[in-house]
Amino acid sequence: MATRLKNSSIAFSLFIYSILLSLLLIYWVDNSILLSLYSTHLLISVIVIGMYRYSMIDSDEKYNHQMGDWKEKGITSFAIDFEGEFNLHIYGEHLCLIQLFDGSNYFLIDPFKVSMDLLIPFFTDTSLEKIMFDASSDASLLYKQYGIEMKGVYDVALAASLIGFTGNYSALVALVMNNEASSGKKGFQKANWLTRPISPQLIEYALKDVEYLFSIKEYLAKEINLLEKGEEDVEIQKGAARVKKFITPGWKKLPGFRKMNKREIIYLKWLFESRDMLAKEHNLPAYRVLDKRLLVELAKNPPANYQQLAKKVSHPHRKMEEALLSLLMVGLEGARKEIEENVVK
């Protein structure tokens, strides 16, 4: 009798323990459910947000584990897209998120947590196909920040051009999936992808960008085959993700640059570099240091002295204003000397 009671007590304890363990493994994060499964010595997480179930790869260990899993399963084709920071919240351009779909499962790779040395082989391996839409901007970001040239890219935007399509990604999805095009990106164009944790809304938005890439490629392959443009597709894809090695200076992209004379361009260059130096020092987007329209105005009508400059330039923070005025004066003086040396009128 005592033995039976003891066994019953043990069984009941194990039952309660299993329930508690299950409760620990399933819990809510914002509006999503995190299911954690321990595989070998690695914690693999599958997160459900809206219509998507994805895994977050935020460590070298997880990345290596996942690459091993893909290799074991023979998976060599991926739908991929990037999210980045482009001088909106901090200085410069930064890769912030890599979203990936392997045809069955979604993944988010955090480039702040995964070593770029590990990611480089993936980006440059020609045997691993990276399906993208308009890969040029993402490839350019990768090259500018890390000096990496992407290989093995299949750009569906280039392929779509062979059947006469020139619209955006949403329109291409609408064409292929036979549904209405959505505005999609407009609400998130100024999103801060540097922030951690990433909000569920942004995650859902990011994953949507890779959801249909396999279907789009399959659809385009059929259309291209019907038009007998397969060879053209092979040829055009050789230029996918090709980057310009020469990076156009920022001051050449400012409004009105093409209409400026030589003298104004010299002033613009020096003033732009002065502003950029301060923005970089304080890790601020340049527009928060000095508006580009005022920069152009100063280049066209350069102040003769500090007092004239101070009447045109101001900043909400006094110390920042003082530093800005000092640097702009250095820029103005540098421009004057260059003009004198080159006898530019």
Crossing angle of helices 292-300 and 262-281, rounded to 10°: 140
Which H, E and C letters describe 244-293, residue by residue? CCCCCCHHHHCCCHHHCCHHHHHHHHHHHHHHHHHHHHCCCCHHHCCCHH
Q: What is the pLDDT of residue 35?
A: 43
2-18 confidence digits (pLDDT tens): 555 445 555 555 455 55
Smallest CA-to-CA distance from 336 within 323, 327, 345 is with 345
Q: How confident is the model at residue 42 (pLDDT cuts 50, 70, 90)?
A: very low
Domains present along the chain, CATH in parentheses: 19-239 (3.30.420.10), 250-342 (1.10.150.80)
Q: Compute how many other C-beta atoms are within 10 angstroms of the C-beta atom of residue 71.
A: 11
- For 235, the token pair is 């040829």
Which H, E and C letters describe the chain, residue by residue? CHHHHHHHHHHHHHHHHHHHHHHHHEEEECCEEEEEEEECCEEEEEEEECCEEEEEECCHHHHHHHHHHHHHHCCCEEEEEEEEEECCCCCCEEEEEEEEECCCCEEEECCCCCCHHHHHHHHHCCCCEEEECCCHHHHHHHHHHHCCCCCCEEEHHHHHHCCCCCCCHHHHHHHHHCCCCCCHHHHHCCCCCCCCCCCHHHHHHHHHHHHCHHHHHHHHHHHHHHCCCHHHHHHHHHHCCCCCCCCCCHHHHCCCHHHCCHHHHHHHHHHHHHHHHHHHHCCCCHHHCCCHHHHHHHHHCCCCCHHHHHHHCCCCCHHHHHHHHHHHHHHHHHHHHHHHHHCCC
Between these two residues, 100 and 43, which has the higher pLDDT value?
Answer: 100
In this model, does residue 240 exceed pLDDT 90? yes
Q: What average pLDDT score do residues 222-243 get?
A: 96
Mean pLDDT, all residues of the chain: 88
88-112 confidence digits (pLDDT tens): 999 999 999 999 999 999 999 999 9
Question: Is 0.85 topped by the overall pTM?
Answer: no
In this model, does residue 30 exceed pLDDT 60? no
In this model, does residue 220 exceed pLDDT 80? yes
Q: What is the pLDDT of residue 39?
A: 41
In this model, does residue 277 exceed pLDDT 50? yes
